[in-house]
Amino acid sequence: MREYKACLLKKASLILLTSSIFSGATHAACQEEQKHCYYFEGDKLISDSACEVVQCANISGGSEVWTWSNGNKVDVQVQNGETKVNGQPGRLFDKDALSCYEIIGSDREALCNGNPLSNNAPAFNTGANDKRESCLRILGAGIYNGILETLCDFNGGVKEKLKEVYAKAGCPSIINGNEISHLSEEVLVDTRERYQVMGEEAFCEGNKEAYFDLAQD
């Protein structure tokens, strides 16, 4: 697992990673996107609709609410490593370029969202692995520093700095929604474990110097 500590990004890293862009998935915050939602039974598409997806993250997990234009709604809750889909145990998985959930024990039913299938393209172009890794690093660091700003009341604007770097690059065409969701969950789980072991005071104090060094760069 990658380590996403505040010290990941010093001044040289910011220069090196200007081809990266931060997604906006942050601790204790929500983001709203217009996507397309799908309902599958096995590999058969049963229905689909334009939808609004609202994702929220917090220290113990997060939530997603998908509101379909046809009136359907999907409610996903992830707390302390447990996923529930419309109130029932579920799991997250990838299906092509879509972010999908299934209810455990169902007959291969899947609820997915992403871009319209006809417009889906491979997430990364051949030869773009270095840029992809840079995008993932800046995204993970942005999520982590957003957590620090919320939990520890750090006010150096590091998250916004990373979002600005993110916005000037081009990673929206490289990092897909599945990767954002997976990385957000990974960082939140890792951070929660350290926070619970160390306690708030030690956790914040241990990150303070590196965070504000980055804020001053």
Q: In the chain, what are the domain boundaries? A: 6-25+121-216, 29-119
pLDDT < 50 stretches in the chain? 1-28, 119-128
Q: What percent of the chain has pLDDT over 90?
A: 12
Q: Rounded CA gap, 191 and 59, in Å?
A: 8
pLDDT of 193 reads 84
Tens of pLDDT, residue by residue over 34-49, are 889 999 888 888 888 9
In this prediction, residue 124 carries a pLDDT of 32
Question: What is the structure's pLDDT at 185?
Answer: 83
What pLDDT score does 68 carry?
Answer: 92
pTM (two decimals): 0.47
Element (H, E) at 68: strand 61-68
Closest CA to 102 of 117, 115, 112: 112
196 Cα distance to chain centroid: 21
**What is the widest separation between alpha-carbon atoms in the chain?**
54
CB atoms within 10 A of CB 127: 7
pLDDT of residue 134: 77
